[in-house]
A and B are shown apart, each in its own frame.
Chain A
Amino acid sequence: MTFAEQMITIGMVVLGTVLTRFLPFLIFPAGKPTPRYVRYLGKVLPPAVFGLLVVYCLKNVSLFAGSRGVPELVSIGVVAGLHLWRRQMLVSIAGGTACYMLLVQVVF
């Protein structure tokens, strides 16, 4: 690729990303009432998306090779447990990450 072609390629990635981020705001402008169906989606999608993101983070974990997903499972348990107990975002995240690092560096 020439320099210009590389810049166009980067530009296309920028364009694609910006499009996916701005599109809903352009389709449903502030002045007009947003359809009820869309407002419903705005309410029910986030919990589903958070679930999707959790699974997305784990997409490369193999249950049949290496550590078989044990460190991930245990550490997620730690995050969930800590959060139920203290409900402090940073405590849950730090605890789970520390547990994971310990497991992959020392145990497995």
Chain B
Amino acid sequence: MSERGRRGKAFKAAFPHTIPIFAGFWFLGMTYGIYMNVSGFPFWYPMLMSLTIFAGSVEFVAVNLLLGAFNPFQVLAMTLMINARHLFYGLSMLDKYRGNGWKDFYLIFGMCDESFSINYTARIPEGIDRGWFMFFVTLLNHFYWFFGAALGGIFGSLIRFDTEGLDFVMTAMFVAIFMEQWMKEKEHVSSLVGVGVTLLCLVAFGADRFLIPAMAVILGVLTFLRKPLERRGECGD
């Protein structure tokens, strides 16, 4: 098959996987753009930031950082903390995001929660080029986010929407991905550790600071369980 044919087939296979992200991202992106707009920034700020940062939660935080006093090191530390979960994604994608040539660079650059989750779980059909599939998932997600942020930034205060509850689409997607993983795996220790530990940390540390402790405890528990989990994994395979 020609390179063009491979690309086309991969695009067609990838697109349906990104439809929920389309629903979620144009909406969240637009919310972000509007937020930037009403905070007094010109429309090309959210456009630039959605293109170069492409990490939802930290972009919302960045609005406040831009409004505060100039403190680049605090900004860097804050970003590293909010985005520390990407380290987990990277460790999980060491094999998948390699061997795809130049596309690897973009795949890693665009590894947001959603791109990672889809590219990790998607059952890519036989005969579809994996590299191009993952590339298009990432590219489409990136575009939806940019598109939403641009719309919000340009039209900002003019937009009124009665789409209350639409943002739940992201929660629904992560629940579905969690279920998909659950139905695929032979044992559920890690899934349960993820939910349980995070819930406990949310209660213990509060909504603003539970993420890092949760990650640390998850890492600790899974490290502690390595022997039994590896033994069971070997028997299971």
B is a partner of A:
yes
Check if B170 is an interface residue, CB within 8 A of chain A: yes
Residue contact B181 to A46, C-beta cutoff 8 Å? yes
* CB-CB nearest in chain B for A34: B94
Chain A proximity mask over B178-220: 1 for CB below 8 Å, otherwise 0: 1111110100101111111111001000010011001100110
Which label, helix, strand, loop or mixed, suits the secondary structure of the A interface?
Answer: helix
The secondary structure that dominates the B interface is: helix
The reply to whether B117 and A12 form a contact with Cβ atoms under 8 Å apart is no
CB distance from A21 to the nearest CB of B (A): 5
- Of the stretches B5-13, B46-54, B125-133, B152-160, the one at the interface is B46-54
Chain A residues touching B, range: 35 or more
Q: Are B178 and A54 in contact (CB under 8 A)?
A: yes
Contacts A20-B83, A50-B181, A59-B207; is A10 near B92 (CB within 8 Å)?
A: no
Q: Which listed residue (A24, A83, A92) contacts B87, Cβ 8 A?
A: A24
Report the Cα distance A52→B193, complex, angstroms.
9
Tell me the smallest distance from the CB of B52 to a CB of chain A, in Å. 5
Tell whether, in the assembled complex, residue B58 and residue A17 are in contact, meaning their CB atoms are under 8 Å apart: yes
A65 touches B (CB below 8 Å): no
Q: Restricting to A70-95, which residues have a CB under 8 Å from any CB of B?
A: 71-72, 75-76, 79-80, 83-84, 87, 89-90, 92-94
Interface string of A1-25 (1 = CB under 8 A from B): 1100110111011111111111111
Cα distance A21–B211 in the bound complex, in angstroms: 17
Residues of A within 8 A of B215 (CB): 52
Q: Contact: A51 with B194, CB < 8 Å?
A: yes
| Contact assessment for A12 and B75 in the assembled complex, using a CB-CB cutoff below 8 Å | yes
Judge whether A16 and B185 touch: CB under 8 Å. Answer: no
Could you list which residues of chain B lie within 8 angstroms of chain A, going by C-beta atoms?
16-17, 19-20, 23, 48-49, 52-55, 58-59, 62, 65-66, 69-70, 72-73, 75-80, 83-95, 97-99, 108-109, 111, 113, 117, 120, 162-166, 168-183, 185, 188, 190-199, 202, 207, 210-211, 214-215, 218-219, 222-223, 226, 229-230, 233
Interface residue ranges, A against B (CB under 8 Å)? 1-2, 5-6, 8-10, 12-25, 28, 30, 34, 37-60, 71-72, 75-76, 79-80, 83-84, 87, 89-90, 92-94, 96-97, 100-101, 103-105
Known pairs A49-B89, A101-B165, A105-B165. 12 more at Cβ < 8 A? A5-B70, A10-B49, A47-B178, A51-B178, A51-B198, A52-B85, A53-B117, A54-B175, A83-B180, A83-B183, A84-B183, A96-B168
